[in-house]
Amino acid sequence: MKKKKKKYESKDIVVLEGLDAVRLRPGMYIGTTSARGYHHILWEIVDNAIDEIANGYGDTIKIFLNTDGSATVEDNGRGIPVDIHPTLKKSGVEVVYTTLHAGGKFNNDNYKFSGGLHGVGASVTNALSKWCKVTVCKNGKKYFIEFHSYEDDDGKMHSGVPVAPLKEIGTSSTSGTSVTFLPDPKVFGEQRFSCEAITRRARELAFLNKGLRIEVTDRSTGEEYFFHYEGGISDFALYLVEGKNSLFKTPIYFSAESKALYLEVAFILTDSYTENTFSFVNNIPTTEGGMHETGFKSAFTKAFNDYARANGLLKDKEPNLLGEDFREGITVIINVKMNNVQFEGQTKTKLGNIEAKTEVENLTLRELTRILDDKKNATVAEIIVNKAKQAAKVRLAAKKAKELTRAKANAENFNLVGKLAASTSRNREKSELFIVEGDSAGGSAKQGRDRSFQAILPLRGKPLNAEKKRVDQVLANEEIRTIISALDTGFGEDFDLDSLRYNKVIILSDADQDGAHIRAILLTFFFRYMRPLITDGHVFIGLPPLYKVYKKDYEKYVYSDAELADAVKAVGKGYMIQRYKGLGEMNPEQLWETTMDPEKRTLIQVTIEDAAEAEKLITTLMGDAIEDRKAYISEHANFDKEDNFMKEYKNI
């Protein structure tokens, strides 16, 4: 039957007024309505306060998590403009909170540097809040305005509407802005702000803005946190290498400025084997790097090669050292402030400004050359060059092993035949790889899986802890080599996410201490040598059941002690409980039904909420500092609740 064409006319075009577009498509503005997006609307307000301080106005930000679920952000900056906008005929406060792409950041007259370059931050927060209240202290007076979102009698949603125009409510001897808002449950569901996540970011902001004071108060618990670092990013570098053996005590620091940007860098070298670079642009973490990182790395390599040549540390016949050699064991903070920032996407994770590469490269080369020419830095310079020379030897020793990892599941190389049970599908988006603890569980998984899209790789022994070993030692471990080969992505500097054969990489281990250790070891390896696998959302933890509650004609699998109590109550008298000590105790049908069936299983996606804190956590849990590890476990571990235990891994 021929389908009748529907007329498409001008009357069919829907015009979303004001902030309604934000509420209809929140993902376009904050990425997601999950916990990340929920906190994003808080950071939009904090970023505005930071922009004031970064440009020289004020020095203190206070964040309050209120008992009703709302949050308050206070600063002692200049205060949002309260006068009437010449064309919109509204107060500056109302314009900022109700108009997309409105703000003082599109020219450089008021903000030389700004993270909120899109001009949508405050208005988006207002649009996605049930209500929002703004108090401004300015010019000796205090002003107030309130916004709310509501649904009218016709079912039409009105987002971030002012209850009344801005009004003067008193006098004030100070200046600044206070914003209190309640994220709308209709958008975000029943979520709450995480004090832990907020304090992590607050600490980072205090590091990045020397002299800034940030206070965080959780009014539900009474907990208060204060962050203030006169050493700025030098203190940040020292914080990140706590628990590691630094090869010199004080970080190398420099700052420099051009017409295009301001740059500051701090780095310190440890005896570890991995590089840790953390970059920021206008206080925003650029977790995917970008042009500023590229420029820094190029200049860093040239400066130290030139120094090594000039001082006889590299002989004429010896080739230049590579950048990865100089950066082995380094922890570096790159902090850039610049105008007209071009981030790749509203989520602001990668700097796209091409000119940033040239500017950062020139400034870094100039400043490092100045530092290296200073005789008092000769000892530190030699330490860096000598460690790089040793790293080059290890790199050459590991070259053959790296070449082996490029072979595609070749039995002669990694003996994958008999280990990897490949899936038949060539569709990466649907394919899954289960990395399974032990031959017994691996055998059940192979029999119980759906071979059309599920591949199984049993581990016959524990992989190596990549945190404590050199790259050549890591590659010497058979279990690590089989994982690299199965994923087909390469490794370290050669990692290529586009070559990944499976959209989901699922770690499946026993719900006991050994299983937890294996999870930690695998996550450490992925974090150190295949980090995009995590940052792009491909790594998961399979959650096997702890118990089966059953009696005649009834059975239920449960995954935590809390769930067990509910199951026992529901089944009534005459029940039996089976405790699963390991995956190997389940037959193929049970393993499929409980842990592998996409319709029924529980997977925990591994994410990195804060790269710097993840780095510190990996160092603490998997490094050599035993006392630091004991202290962390004593403070944070809850051995009574498996669901809390699993939550720790999710945050790694």
* Cβ(144)–Cβ(135) below 8 Å: yes
Q: Across the strands, what pairs with 180?
A: 72, 133
The number of angstroms, rounded, from the C-alpha of 9 to the middle of its chain's C-alpha atoms is 45
> pLDDT exceeding 90 applies to what percent of the chain?
44
* Cβ(149)–Cβ(89) below 8 Å: no
Residue type at 570?
Answer: A
Please determine, for residue 640, whether its predicted confidence score (pLDDT) is greater than 60. Answer: no
- Per the rule left: phi > 0, alpha: psi between -120 and 50, beta: everything else, 513 is alpha
Determine which helix (DSSP H) or strand (DSSP E) holds 65, and give its type and residue range.
strand 60-65
* Cβ(324)–Cβ(493) below 8 Å: yes
CA-CA-CA-CA torsion sign (21, 27, 33, 39): negative
Report which DSSP code applies to 321: P
- Out of 57-66, 281-290, 296-305, least confident range: 281-290
Average pLDDT of the chain is: 84
Please determine, for residue 172, whether its predicted confidence score (pLDDT) is greater than 90. Answer: yes
Q: Across the strands, what pairs with 511?
A: none
Give residue 62's pLDDT band: very low, low, confident or very high (50, 70, 90). very high
Instruction: Please state, in angstroms and rounded to a whole number, the distance separating the CA atoms of residues 619 and 627.
Output: 12
Q: Provide the edge-to-edge strand list for the sheet that holds 554-558.
A: 554-558, 547-551, 576-579
Tokens of 173: 């001897």
299-352 tens-digit pLDDT:
999 999 999 999 999 988 889 999 999 999 999 999 999 888 887 754 457 889
Buried b (16+ CB within 10 A) or exposed e, 69-81: ebbbbbbbbbbbb
432 is catalytic: no
Instruction: Please state, in angstroms and rounded to a whole number, the distance separating the CA atoms of residues 504 and 479.
Output: 19
Instruction: Please state, in angstroms and rounded to a whole number, the distance separating the CA atoms of residues 242 and 631.
Output: 13
**Cβ-based neighbour number of residue 167 at 10 Å:** 11
Q: Measure Cα distances from 79 to 21, 146, 574 in Å.
A: 28, 16, 68
**Cβ-based neighbour number of residue 624 at 10 Å:** 14
Instruction: Please state, in angstroms and rounded to a whole number, the distance separating the CA atoms of residues 23 and 318.
Output: 61
pLDDT at 361: 97
Instruction: Please state, in angstroms and rounded to a whole number, the distance separating the CA atoms of residues 388 and 386.
Output: 5
Report which DSSP code applies to 370: H
Interhelix angle for 478-487 vs 513-529, to 10°? 60
Catalytic residue selected from 514, 561, 566, 597: 514
Instruction: Please state, in angstroms and rounded to a whole number, the distance separating the CA atoms of residues 232 and 514.
Output: 40
Please determine, for residue 12, whether its predicted confidence score (pLDDT) is greater than 60. Answer: no
E strand spans, 124-248: 129-138, 141-151, 157-162, 167-171, 176-183, 213-218, 223-228
439 is catalytic: no
* Cβ(332)–Cβ(215) below 8 Å: no
Mean pLDDT of 588-610: 88
Mention every residue, 6+ apart, whose C-beta is less than 8 A from residue 635. Answer: none
Question: What three-state secondary structure class fits 322?
Answer: coil
Catalytic residue selected from 184, 325, 467, 510: 510
373 is catalytic: no
Instruction: Please state, in angstroms and rounded to a whole number, the distance separating the CA atoms of residues 524 and 543.
Output: 19
Question: What is the value of pTM for the model shown?
Answer: 0.75
Give the 3-state secondary structure of 584-624: HHCCHHHHHHHHHCCCCCCEEECCCCCHHHHHHHHHHHHCC
CA-CA-CA-CA torsion sign (576, 580, 581, 585): positive
Q: What share of the chain is helix, strand, coil (3-state, %, to 5)?
A: 40, 20, 40
Determine which helix (DSSP H) or strand (DSSP E) holds 458, and give its type and residue range.
strand 454-459
* Cβ(50)–Cβ(61) below 8 Å: yes
CA-CA-CA-CA torsion sign (338, 290, 360, 390): positive
pLDDT at 119: 41
Instruction: Please state, in angstroms and rounded to a whole number, the distance separating the CA atoms of residues 98 and 159.
Output: 9
* Cβ(207)–Cβ(610) below 8 Å: no
* Integer-rounded Cα radius of gyration of the chain: 28
Give residue 517's pLDDT band: very low, low, confident or very high (50, 70, 90). confident
pLDDT at 574: 83
Question: Degrees (nearest 5) of the Cα angle 353, 359, 362?
Answer: 150
Q: Across the strands, what pairs with 434?
A: 456, 506
Instruction: Please state, in angstroms and rounded to a whole number, the distance separating the CA atoms of residues 178 and 303.
Output: 47
Instruction: Please state, in angstroms and rounded to a whole number, the distance separating the CA atoms of residues 216 and 238.
Output: 23
Q: Across the strands, what pairs with 505?
A: 433, 539
pLDDT at 624: 67
pLDDT at 432: 95
Determine which helix (DSSP H) or strand (DSSP E) holds 264, and give its type and residue range.
strand 261-269
Please determine, for residue 139, whether its predicted confidence score (pLDDT) is greater than 80. Answer: yes
Give residue 409's pLDDT band: very low, low, confident or very high (50, 70, 90). very low
Mean pLDDT of 134-148: 95
Tokens of 105: 């950041």
pLDDT at 454: 95
Buried b (16+ CB within 10 A) or exposed e, 43-67: bbbbbbbbbbbbbebbebbbbbbee
Catalytic residue selected from 437, 479, 613, 615: 437
Mention every residue, 6+ apart, whose C-beta is less than 8 A from residue 243. Answer: 616, 619, 620, 623, 624, 625, 628
Please determine, for residue 17, whether its predicted confidence score (pLDDT) is greater than 60. Answer: no
Closest listed residue to residue 129, CA positions, set 38, 219, 255? 38
479-496 tens-digit pLDDT:
888 898 889 888 887 888
190-240 tens-digit pLDDT:
999 999 999 999 999 999 999 899 999 999 999 999 999 999 999 999 999
Cβ burial, residue 27 (10 Å; 0-12/13-18/19+)? exposed
510 is catalytic: yes
Please determine, for residue 79, whether its predicted confidence score (pLDDT) is greater than 50. Answer: yes
Interhelix angle for 233-240 vs 195-208, to 10°? 130
* Cβ(336)–Cβ(262) below 8 Å: yes
CA-CA-CA-CA torsion sign (166, 172, 177, 180): negative
Mean pLDDT of 383-409: 74
Report which DSSP code applies to 467: T
Question: What three-state secondary structure class fits 7?
Answer: coil
Q: Across the strands, what pairs with 498?
A: none
Catalytic residue selected from 196, 318, 512, 589: 512
